[in-house]
Amino acid sequence: MIDTVTEPRAQPFAVQVKTLMDLEARYQPKLSGLRLIETSQDNGLRMTTRLRELEVKDLLSLTRFFGFSSDTFSLAISLLDRFLSVMKIQPKHLSCVGLCCFYIAVKSSEEEKNVPLANDLIRISQNRFTVSDMMRMEKIIMEKLYWKVKAPTALRFLHLLHSHIQEQLSSESQKIISLERLEAQLKACHCSFVFSKLKPSLLAMALLCYEAKEQHDPEDGDKVEEILESLQKQLNIRDGDLVCVRELVGKCLAEYATSKCSRPNSRRLRWIISGRTARHLKHSYYKITHLPTIPESAY
């Protein structure tokens, strides 16, 4: 049976925070496993940080393509990192593992009517494994993670903490810390392996502090800082840890701002696919631009 974490929205804020913090350690990736990935040489035989980051960016592209929520993406990355931290997999199996983690997250977070067929996912992601391969891998992942799916992700902490901050600010001051901007920044952080080793609560708090500093408002700055200091105490986060992670966040976002790589945002991705692939997709995907099928006798 899949273990899910129910949303404690009806409870007081302090209770909600404590509930997520109590669950946090149970859903953390195994640090020893992540360190093995971090120290592995990129020789095509072992999992590396580079391969993991490339896979996460592929999953981000799929999230945009289908228009799925940030919750789905964050949960998929949580599942992926947890599995990679307990299982030694070969690089050739990574795409199957990644897509299965994504599919589990989709089925857990999205409305049933929006869940694509497994075969469509394979076709659109241009993988060569079969639906049977995917189903077998999904079972392995679920068993290794003890059927614990709905992890307290950094995004869940971010939503909870952001909502608490907004409740204590005026309508004008609420514009200082944008949730949409925070979600985009979190997606960028998910694409970097270094953040996999951090507690979700610490990453969420670091993002809030970074955003508050970047969007500093002289009139309400003191109020926001006071709220953040109170939250830091509730989350039992040390000053040194928060400063260190906030700097990591700044470095990560600076790299995204200056690089040519695809930056996380809310734009829906449009892919060009062949007519043959499109004919096998659900009707809801038919707005995609088609390419004519290349005749097999072209040679």
Residue 171 pLDDT level (bands cut at 50, 70, 90): confident
pLDDT, average across residues 284-296? 41
| pLDDT single digits (tens) 52-68 | 999 999 999 999 999 99
Tell me, yes or no, whether 125 and 196 share the same domain: no
| pLDDT single digits (tens) 220-244 | 667 889 999 999 999 999 999 999 9
Residue 45 pLDDT level (bands cut at 50, 70, 90): confident
Beta strands (DSSP E) in the chain are 273-274, 290-291
Question: CA-to-CA distance for 85 and 28, rounded, in angstroms?
Answer: 9
Question: CA-to-CA distance for 11 and 8, rounded, in angstroms?
Answer: 6
Q: What's the confidence (pLDDT) of residue 297? A: 34
- Residue 197 within any structural domain of the chain: yes
Query: In 3-state terms, what secondary structure has residue 236?
Result: coil
8 A C-beta contact, residue 260 and residue 253: no
pLDDT above 80: residue 6: no
* Number of domains into which the chain is organized: 2
Q: What's the confidence (pLDDT) of residue 3? A: 58
Q: Identify which of 273, 265, 271, 270 has the alpha carbon closest to the alpha carbon of residue 291.
A: 273
Q: What's the confidence (pLDDT) of residue 290? A: 38
Exposed e or buried b for every residue in 25-53, given b needs 16+ CB within 10 A?
A: eebbbeeebbeebbebeeeeebbbbebbb
Q: What's the confidence (pLDDT) of residue 256? A: 79
CATH number, domain containing residue 132: 1.10.472.10
Tell me, yes or no, whether 133 and 159 share the same domain: no
Amino acid in position 39: T
pLDDT above 50: residue 77: yes
Tell me, yes or no, whether 156 and 117 share the same domain: no
Tell me, yes or no, whether 45 and 137 share the same domain: yes
Q: What's the confidence (pLDDT) of residue 268? A: 43
pLDDT above 90: residue 291: no
For residue 239, what are the domain limits? 152-166+174-258
Residue 215 pLDDT level (bands cut at 50, 70, 90): confident
Tell me, yes or no, whether 80 and 51 share the same domain: yes
Helices (H), 85-130: 94-109, 118-124
Q: What's the confidence (pLDDT) of residue 223? A: 85
Q: Calculate what percentage of the chain has a pLDDT beyond 70.
A: 81
Tell me, yes or no, whether 75 and 180 share the same domain: no
| Burial class of residue 126, CB neighbours in 10 A (0-12, 13-18, 19+) | exposed
Q: What's the confidence (pLDDT) of residue 203? A: 98
Q: Tokens for 185, please give them.
A: 């920044």
Tell me, yes or no, whether 139 and 79 share the same domain: yes
Question: CA-to-CA distance for 191 and 101, rounded, in angstroms?
Answer: 15
Query: In 3-state terms, what secondary structure has residue 5?
Result: coil
8 A C-beta contact, residue 196 and residue 81: yes
Task: Specify which residues 291 forms β-bridges with.
Answer: 274
- Residue 191 within any structural domain of the chain: yes
Q: Tokens for 156, please give them.
A: 């869940």
Mean pLDDT of the chain: 85
| pLDDT single digits (tens) 111-153 | 999 999 999 999 999 998 999 999 999 999 999 999 999 899 9
Q: What's the confidence (pLDDT) of residue 278? A: 57
- Residue 159 within any structural domain of the chain: yes
pLDDT, average across residues 268-281? 54
Tell me, yes or no, whether 61 and 133 share the same domain: yes
- Residue 271 within any structural domain of the chain: no
Q: Put residue 126 in one of left, alpha, beta given phi > 0 → left and psi -120 to 50 → alpha.
A: left
Question: CA-to-CA distance for 264 and 245, rounded, in angstroms?
Answer: 20
Q: Provide the angle, in degrees to the nearest 10, between the axes of the packed helices 49-66 and 94-109.
A: 40
Task: Specify which residues 273 forms β-bridges with.
Answer: 290
